[in-house]
Amino acid sequence: MAAETLPAARRGPRDLTSGPIAPALVAFALPTLGSNILQSMNASINTIWIGRFLGHGALAATANANLVLFIAFAVVFGFGLAATILIGQAVGARDLDRARRVLGTAIGGFAVASVAVSAAGWFASDAILRGLATPGDAMPLAHAYLRVIFLSLPASFLVLVLAMALRGAGDAVTPFAMMIVTVVLDAGLNPVLILGLGPAPRLGIAGSALATVVASYATLIGFVAIVYGRRLPIRLIGTELRYLVPDPAILRVVMAKGLPMGAQMFVVTASALALTGIVNRAGVDHAAAFGVAQQLWSYVQMPALAVGAAVSAMAAQNIGAGRWERVGAITRSGIVVNVAMTSVLIVALTAADRPALSLFLPGGGAATAIAAHANWIVGWSFVPFGVTMVLFATVRANGAVTAPLVILAIALIPVRLGVAFAGAPRFGIDAVWWALPIGSIVSVAMAAAYYRFGGWRRQRMMPPPAPAELAGEAVAAAPPTTRRPPVEPASVEG
């Protein structure tokens, strides 16, 4: 049999290769935006619990431990995004078996790797924290927190993979629903396990980590229950369970494409740490102002990240289907939607900057004035930042991952840091504030040039399956004669 006939209970995932683009993009982006907001809220709520119940030492401890987790998730995010794009292209090509192969490889590979990382982290947590020069007062707390939090990694990694895989298949609602479960459990259990409320033991900072462990595994169980209970099309059944043994060809692609995407997060972090060092030398008021402003800016960036995820999923499906005329339209719609959403947030934040800042800096004072001034300079720069994210999302959907990394590295390190360091002696701290929009302008200019003139359209995530393989395995959701490879026709305009 040359094609898989899907029963009604296992009908194909959401088709993003036809119909109006802008409404589909907004409908896809909003649940993703909700997930991002909930994730940030969960971190903020847990920080409040730890700070109020355990004090500043515990906050310092979790900050050091969370840096370790960030590094781990940066790598996983890159690999997960690579798998998501492969799944999206397979779904667009109506090749559901290939989508399941990618998902099986991702789950099997991450399961083994996450267990190994979790075990290594449990035994090496003390050495890791010492390598980070964790303050002595915070060391015991950080050690207790990090060891327990490492136990959550297998579930957390697999939840991330499942969420990204479903988005690649066109489903952004299920990951949003499961994020609600995570936040309710994690934020709700934190005070219970920290303080030992009711029958729960009083665990202190380890209780906060244990709350994350419980929430992570409960969310993973819920994810699996939904995938199989609703009989979602990418689930593995019967002989397909053998796909959990990683396919070497798919794994090589996920590794090769995922590393540059994960490296982008390291570039962003390195640039942010360097800017923080400049600001810290200006005094405690400037340091506090920068920290609070970054809290607010993190929310302004969320539409760009959500719209970028939507563009990536839609573009990947259309590239897989050979619908290149829609890829350009998706990119343009993504830019328009992102500019509109981000601009609304920027205007609202600028108009109400003092009340917003007072949530973190009660009583006003010098830090509030500094943060408000910084926001006036920096706030608008998230518009070009969002455009860059949309352009990157499109080119990555066809496997172009090195150029976005290079562009980001140039914009954030020699440009942004160069402006900040070179301008600080003459313009003071304003050099840091202006370095942020200048870096955004340079990055969007380079991203637009690469999108228009670069060779990203000629790349592929991985070679298409051989005809013999397709015929022998009878796995496609449509006859192979109707499948178009993800190659752009020469006549299509960029």
Average pLDDT across each block of 10 residues of the chain; the chain has 494 residues. List them in order. Answer: 39 72 92 90 83 78 76 82 91 91 93 91 87 78 90 93 89 93 94 93 93 96 92 90 94 91 86 83 82 84 92 93 93 96 92 80 77 91 96 94 95 94 88 94 97 89 53 41 37 32
Q: Are residues 233 and 188 in the same domain?
A: yes
Is residue 387 helix, strand or coil? helix
CB atoms within 10 A of CB 175: 22
Same domain, 235 and 356: no
Residue 485 resides in a domain: no
Closest residue by Cα to residue 151 from 241, 89, 212, 103:
212
Same domain, residue pair 203 and 281: no
Angle, to 10 degrees, between the axis of helix 139-150 and the axis of helix 96-131? Answer: 160
304 within some domain: yes
Q: Determine the pLDDT at residue 211.
A: 96
474 found inside a domain: no
* Structural domain count of the chain: 2
Query: Taking the alpha carbons of 366, 369, 372, 378 in that order, is the dihedral positive or negative?
Result: negative
pLDDT for position 488: 37
Rounded Cα distance, 35 and 173, in Å: 9
Residue 2, domain member (yes or no): no
- Predicted confidence at residue 477, as pLDDT, reads 39
- Distance between CA atoms of 393 and 404, rounded to whole angstroms? 9
Last residue of a domain, one of 215, 246, 277: 246
38, part of any domain: yes
Q: Distance between CA atoms of 406 and 409, rounded to whole angstroms?
A: 5
Residues 124, 231 within the same domain = yes
Residues 145, 216 within the same domain: yes
- 275-330 pLDDT, tens digit per residue, is 888 887 888 788 888 877 887 888 899 999 999 999 999 999 999 999 999 999 99
What per-residue confidence (pLDDT) applies to 23? 93
The predicted structure's pLDDT at residue 137: 77
Of 246, 278, 297, the residue that ends a domain is 246
Quote the Cα angle for 105-110-114, to 5°.
Answer: 165
Q: Are 24 and 16 in contact (CB under 8 A)?
A: yes
- Same domain for 271 and 128, yes or no, is no
Domain end among 188, 219, 246: 246
> How far is the C-alpha of 237 from the C-alpha of 271, rounded, in Å?
45
Identify whether residues 269 and 215 lie together within a single domain: no
- Please check whether residues 422 and 456 belong to one and the same domain: yes
In this structure, the answer to whether residues 170 and 290 fall within a common structural domain is: no
- Give the chain's length: 494
Q: What is the pLDDT of residue 364?
A: 67
Do 230 and 271 lie in a common domain?
no
Distance CA 242, CA 493 (A): 42
Q: Which of 256, 261, 274 is nearest to 405 (CA)?
A: 261
Domain presence at residue 375: yes
- The DSSP symbol for 414 reads I
- Whether 256 is covered by a domain: the verdict is no
* 234 and 284 inside one domain: no
User: Is the domain of 185 the same as that of 269?
Assistant: no
Instruction: Decide if 41 is inside a domain.
Output: yes
Cα distance between residue 51 and residue 47, in whole Å = 6
Owning domain of residue 210 = 19-246
Read out DSSP for 322-367?
Answer: T-HHHHHHHHHHHHHHHHHHHHHHHHHHHHTHHHHHHTTSTT--HH
Q: Cα(186)–Cα(210) distance, rounded to whole angstroms?
A: 9
Residue 73: per-residue pLDDT: 81
